Structure 1
Amino acid sequence: MTRRVNVLGGGPGGLYAARLLKLRDPALEVVVHERMDGAQETFGFGVGLTEATMRNLEQADPETADRVREVSYVGHELRFAAEDRSVCLHGARNLAVGRAALLRVLTEAATAVGVEYRAGSHADLGSVSGDVVIAADGVGSGTRAKLSAELGVRTSLGRTRYVWCGAPFAASSAFFASARRGQQLFVTHAYPYAEDRSTFLIEVDDRTWTDAGLAAFDAATAPGETDQQSVRLLENVLSDQLRGGKLLANRTRWSRFVNLGLDRWHTGNVALLGDAAHTAHYTLGSGTKLALEDAIALADALAGESSVPAAFAAYEQARRPAVERFKQLAGRSQRWWDSYRWRADWPAERLGLSYMTRSGNLTMADYAASEPGVVRTALEWLGAAPSGDPAEWVLAQPLRGNGIQLPARAVPRADLGQPVEEVAWAEPDVWGEDADRTVARLAAGTGPVLVTGKPGEFWARVDFAERLRLRTRRTVGVDLPRSARAFAATSVGAGRADFVTVSQEDS
């Protein structure tokens, strides 16, 4: 079907798509155009890959999957560190790989099957020709910019700012931690990716960005250069986490995460993959994971369909549902971290339970299956030490005080039996301007509040209930469907709501 393919962008997704296409049809002419010329150091440090992604790679291309595993750092657990202690979030199932090592493996894998790799190539839509163009040119995609009218581009910026750094040692586990300097809060996401290297991603909110002088440091740093003043400040603030050592920098600058979505991932003979087509917040997964899985689906579609339009349609049909679900989960994770300041003083166990259930992908019972002691301790805010099934225990606890008395934390809505102020909520962004106004209005009142909504997705109202609990003194309930009993228990146990009412119909 396709005789010539040009790939714009020599990142993991573009390289892997090129290799898979040549594996499936050796007669294809496949060229990868990469702007970096090899003299420049690859941007970034380590990237994370899930075991699910590795299984997908093994099924699509066992040889490359084996080589990726060979250069990866595996077997470290994930922990959440509070001021006095840390708790385990999950066991040794993480895998990370240095970005430079991953690119080396994928470049060698592509060229080994006959892909032409052109380093230092500034090719774009105006200078390439062929049956198919694959735009794998990242979140700043020039291809997407040129085709924005056809693709339907939607973008927004994250609220926090972050920098990617490294450290010259392998942390004993992946971990989340925070450090304070007065009212300034610095949040670390760290993980080892080699025997002598770790990735350190540091995140700050607007208050810290301004008060710590980071905005001024950023403004004084020339384009393309490392913000050395910020790096030195972070080394001082995070000295304990860094074992008294230095951070590694590589064009290290503060960024705001770009939330990106497209109405279409293809137009004409051009298809986009990875960060050029969509982004999902780094606190849930990695763009590398999504790009590699996109590459598999696109190569399969181009090999299996009789025309380029049919192949592109099949690619998007195969990948979009999974990507959209992942983006939804990642969006909830992003908003959890956006509001981390309001949880930063919690005990480690409460942080662990809240974190593990933040996206709605796991329930309290799921986490308790692996870390029962952490969950039991996390639930002590509800009263006596829990016994038996933690979910059922949570829902059976009475609620008394602050204008409300209930025999249990979950009651039929028709049996609530006392006046509450109801507020309907459906907007996923519960920290936006509309939410600010609603919270300000509700904060002025007294008595219990019940967050309701129209039938459909109910997580927005759970997250809004949590914001009300974090930012007001009111008792807050949320209306949930009968089918969501496990998530009802999770919402109460993790402190997102004080109680739930159960609708007669699924919402």
Structure 2
Amino acid sequence: MTRRVEIIGGGPAGLYAARLLRLKDPRIDVVVHERTEGSAQTFGFGVGLTESTMRNLEAADPETAELLRHASYAGHSLELRGRADTVTLHGARNLAIGRAKLLDILGEAAAAVGVRIRTGVPADAASVDAEAVIAADGVRSATREKYAAEFGVRAKPGRSRFVWCGAAFAVDSAFFSAAARGDSLFVAHAYPYATDRSTFLIEVDDTTWRSSGLGELDARVPPGETDHASVALLERAFAAELHGGPLLTNRTRWSRFTDLTLDRWSTGNIVLLGDAAHTAHYTLGSGTKLALEDAIALADALTGESSVPAAFAAYERTRRPPVERFKKLAHRSQAWWDSYRLRAPWPAEQLAVSYMTRSGNLTLADFATEQPESVRRALARLGGPVPERPEEFDAWVLSRPVREPGLTLPGRMVSRQELDAAATVQELSWTDPEVWDTAADAALTRLNGTGGTPILVTGPSDRDAVAARVDMAERLRMQGGRPVGVALPEGERSPAATAVAAGRADFVVHP
């Protein structure tokens, strides 16, 4: 039985794990070490909480879940604001809460069950005296870096840059919006988290970083300070969305998302929790969700297993599969946003279908059930009258003929024999989920040297390989200027219709 646990990091994961440990076994002595003086010094603005996460919290700790729900800002929908139109992506099902408020609630809840919280003094995993040390010290975890070889750390920086800002009002709806200024394209992800506050996360690609001089502005700012010149530029770009007001800042600096993957989450008596153990791209709103769910699993393991090593093994065995699945979804979302410049000119309805299906966890039929009119308008580009009933959309999409230079097909789903009878194709076998790196660049260059021949992207039938080639087909279609098809396993009619409707492929080949 674990008698003493010390936790490094007083963020959501550390505080929640501390409370849960004491709730499950009040005999455990739990100490949390937080290097800052409290929530007033916390970085960031608001964080999102999904209903699925809230259900998990309610099952683990109903009292704290109720406090969080009561303090959250609820009822806002999500919109995509295109160049000419706005499309509602889903209705009012979001929850958000200020990060400082979240920490206050979790800190008070932890203290209420006897957790000792020490603030303002950094702690080191090697110097604390405990049977189990939980490192919940965030994405820049000093603990993880100190024991990087033991954890088997692999870090990959993202291509885009982003800043966290806020606004002193609640936007009417969460939204995505892009502002173009010459060669520069700024993308805002905004959502309300209080009656008088909103989060504005703004990202830029390398082209914008250079064309707007953001690199030079960033280089002039000392470490730990806000990049006020960049913020002023962003205020001008999003003046309409900000109603002419300012962006709020809090050590607001440009960052790159870092994808962290570890071979193992524990070493000796030390275990990593939340962002210290793994990251998933922010465009799925996943950081706090994964951290709190990690805390639930780790508390269960430490109070349910016979030894600390067994507990760490059980925790990782429970959490790694859902985390890895979520990371894959988030990676596809990240790639979608990293390549947003290529999609920005699309009509809002087409953007909406592409966005909602970008990670592969929603299909055309899923989105159409909630927003049938938006989907119907998006499908009109395929020609012919679109059915009224959403349940007919998949079959209708696959029935649309292909009439492209060098390729004519009677429908969007054909056999390989039918394709070969219609045209000679250039085949590309692809399994790499990285469809925007140098290997993919080389494949694109090589294929572009083969003229206007249609391309068919093929590969194995497992889920990850299928996702990779669908994403590669999308890139080839956007940048290659010729028809692109993708091979899907037999019976995959809904994914096939989704790929065509979202513009990821012109046609689908089945066995």
TM-score tier (shorter): over 0.9
Match of 1:441 among 436, 442, 446: 446
- TM-superposed deviation, 1:286: 2.4
For residue 395 of structure 1, the aligned residue among 381, 389, 398 is: 398
CA deviations on 1:166-225 (whole Å, 9 max, x unpaired) are: 000000000000001111100000000000000000000001011101101100000000
Q: CA deviation at 1:407?
A: 0.9
Q: Does 1:485 align with 2:493?
A: yes
How many angstroms does 1:127 deviate by? 1.7
Distance (whole Å) between structure 2 residues aligned to residue 192 and residue 298 of structure 1: 31
- Cα distance in 2 for partners of 1:304, 1:285 equals 30
Q: Is 1:206 aligned with 2:206?
A: yes
Partners of 1:259 and 1:281 within 8 A in 2: yes
- The separation in 2 between residues aligned to 1:39 and 1:130, in whole angstroms, is 25
The answer to whether 1:373 aligns with 2:373 is: yes
Q: How does 1:412-451 map to 2 (within 5 A)?
A: 412-416=415-419, 417=421, 418-444=423-449, 445-451=451-457
1:452 counterpart letter in structure 2? T
Q: Does 1:411 align with 2:424?
A: no
- Partners of 1:461 and 1:84 in 2: how far apart? 31
Q: Is contact 1:47-1:286 (8 Å) kept?
A: no
**1:164 matched residue in structure 2:** 164
3-state SS of the aligned residue for 2:494?
Answer: helix
2:461 and 2:488 in contact (8 A); partners too? no
User: Equivalent residue for 2:53?
Assistant: 53
Note the alpha carbon deviations across 1:115-168, whole angstroms, 9 max, x for none: 000001211112201110001000111111111111111110010000000000
Secondary structure in 1 aligned to 2:395?
A: helix
Count of residues in correspondence between the two structures: 503
**Equivalent-residue separation in structure 2 for 1:100 and 1:401 (angstroms):** 55
Q: Which runs of 4+ in 1 moved over 3 A?
A: none
Asked whether 1:252 is paired with 2:258, we answer no
Aligned to 2:482: 474
Q: How far apart are the structure 1 equivalents of 2:288 and 2:217? A: 30
Q: Distance in 2 between matches of 1:192 and 1:455?
A: 41
Matched, 1:463 2:471: yes
CA distance in 1, matches of 2:503, 2:386: 15
More displaced stretch, 277-286 vs 326-335: 277-286
Name the % identity: 63
2-side partners of 1:484 and 1:214: how far apart?
45
Shift of 1:415: 2.5
Give distance in 1, aligned partners of 2:135 and 2:197. Answer: 31
The answer to whether the 8 Å contact 2:137/2:276 transfers is: yes
Partners of 1:62 and 1:106 lie apart in 2 by: 13
Q: Deviations over 1:392-435 (max 9, x none)?
A: 10001111221111111001123222311101111101000011
Paired with 2:313 and 2:453, the residues of 1 have a C-alpha distance of: 53
CA contact (8 A) 2:39 2:104 kept: no
What one-letter code is carried by the residue in structure 1 that aligns with 2:173? S
Q: CA deviation at 1:39?
A: 8.6
Cα distance in structure 1, aligned partners of 2:131 and 2:213: 51
| Cα separation, partners in 2 of 1:501 and 1:462, compared to 1, 3 Å | same
Which residue does 1:314 correspond to in 2? 314
Aligned pairs for 1:74-113 within 5 A = 74-113=74-113
SS at match of 1:79: strand
Alpha-carbon distance between aligned partners in 2 of 1:341 and 1:105, rounded to the nearest angstrom: 40
What corresponds to 2:263 in structure 1?
Answer: 263
The 1-side partners of 2:242 and 2:116 are apart by: 42
Residues in 1 aligned to 2:247 and 2:70: alpha-carbon distance in whole angstroms: 26
Q: Distance in 2 between matches of 1:400 and 1:168?
A: 51
Instruction: Give the drift of 1:76.
Output: 0.4
1:2 maps to 2
- Counterpart of 2:9, as a letter, is G
Give the whole-Å Cα distance in 2 for the aligned partners of 1:286 and 1:191: 15
Find the aligned partners of 2:147 and 2:326 in 1 and give their Cα distance: 25
Q: Report the equivalent of 1:125.
A: 125
Instruction: Supply the AA of the counterpart residue of 1:280.
Output: A
* Letter of the 1:419 counterpart: T
| One-letter amino acid of the structure 2 residue matched with residue 323 of structure 1 | V
Contact 2:165 2:200 in 1 (8 A): yes
8 Å contact 2:39–2:100 — kept in the other structure? no
Equivalent-residue separation in structure 1 for 2:493 and 2:134 (angstroms): 44
Contact 2:279–2:327, Cα closer than 8 Å, also in 1: yes
Contact 2:461 2:489 in 1 (8 A): no
Q: Partner amino acid for 1:399?
A: V
Counterpart of 1:374 in 2: which secondary structure?
helix
CA–CA separation in structure 2 for the residues paired with 1:125 and 1:69: 33
Structure 1 residue runs without a partner (length 5+) = none
TM-score (norm 1): 0.98
Give CA deviations for 1:437-465 in whole Å, capped at 9, x if unaligned: 11112123212110011232301000000
Deviations, residues 371-392 of structure 1 (Å, cap 9, x unaligned): 0001111111111231151111
CA–CA separation in structure 1 for the residues paired with 2:102 and 2:292: 12
Aligned pair 1:330/2:330, yes or no?
yes
Q: Cα RMSD (Å) of the superposition?
A: 1.0
Contact 1:179 1:186 in 2 (8 A): yes
Question: What are the residue-to-residue correspondences of 1:262-301 with 2, within 5 Å?
Answer: 262-301=262-301
> Counterpart amino acid of 1:236?
R
What is the rounded CA distance, in whole Å, between the counterparts of 1:358 and 1:370 in structure 2? 17
What letter corresponds to residue 330 of structure 2 in structure 1? Answer: A
Cα displacement string for residues 311-333 of structure 1 (whole angstroms, at most 9, x for unaligned residues) = 11111111111000000000000
